[in-house]
Amino acid sequence: MKAPEKTRVSVFIASSLDGFIARPDGDIRWLHDGEPPPEGDDLGYGALMASIDVLVMGRHSFEKVLSFGDWPYEKPVIVLSRSLKEASEQLRSRVTIDASSPQALMARLYREGVKHIYLDGGKVIQSFLRAGLVDDLCITTLPILLGRGIPLFGELAADIHLKHLGTQSWPNGFVQSTYRISK
């Protein structure tokens, strides 16, 4: 596969109005507590999944997905973890465990010809943002205040400027905003 000019890195995630992606214990059931979006509207998730080559997530997100039962992803998944060594036998053809830094992983995926990556998981998103590797963010804000939990964003060494690309809202109160990272 020919290497792309640049590998695009996208974030597509939901958060509470007060900026949390999970409760302190990692619980995300609140994502499904309110009124759902209109029937058949996946808020752009299907289009994103069709456009990516690889999904990169952290260990906590991986373990949460495993708790759902059936494996939901057809695309290759890379789990960034220093504690996990390999995926279970039934997932080895779909999941790779990697302990690389974001920079090293991006360099390898670029060499392999990966054109578009979807990042999932708070710590992974934060580490890629700190490394200056994220190209765009799509954040769907749900109409709920959690008060505490796992924040979407963490501390930064410097400001990250964003260009607003658009905002869409739904009757159930979901508000989705898309941004490009200003480089």
Domain extent for 142: 1-23+46-155
**Is residue 91 pLDDT above 60, yes or no?**
yes
CB count, 10 Å around CB of 67? 8
pLDDT at 4 > cutoff 60? no
Count of structural domains within the chain = 1
121 in any annotated domain: yes
Domain membership flag for residue 73: yes
Distance CA 106, CA 120 (A): 15
Could you tell me the two tokens for 115? 């054109």
Q: Is 104 part of a structural domain of the chain?
A: yes
What pLDDT is recorded for position 81? Answer: 92
Q: What is the mean pLDDT of residues 84-107?
A: 90
Beta pairing class for 20-22 and 150-151? antiparallel
Structural tokens at position 169: 């809202």
Percentage above 90 pLDDT, the chain: 80
pLDDT value at residue 28: 94
Do the domain assignments include residue 67?
Answer: yes
Q: Does the residue 75 lie in any domain? A: yes
CATH number at 119 reads 3.40.430.10
Which of 53-67, 79-93, 133-147, 156-170 shows the lowest mean pLDDT across its residues? Answer: 79-93
pLDDT tens by residue, 129-147: 999 999 999 999 999 999 9
Residue 29 falls inside a structural domain? no
CA distances from 35 to 30, 52, 173 (A): 11, 28, 8
Provide the 3-class DSSP secondary structure of residue 136.
strand
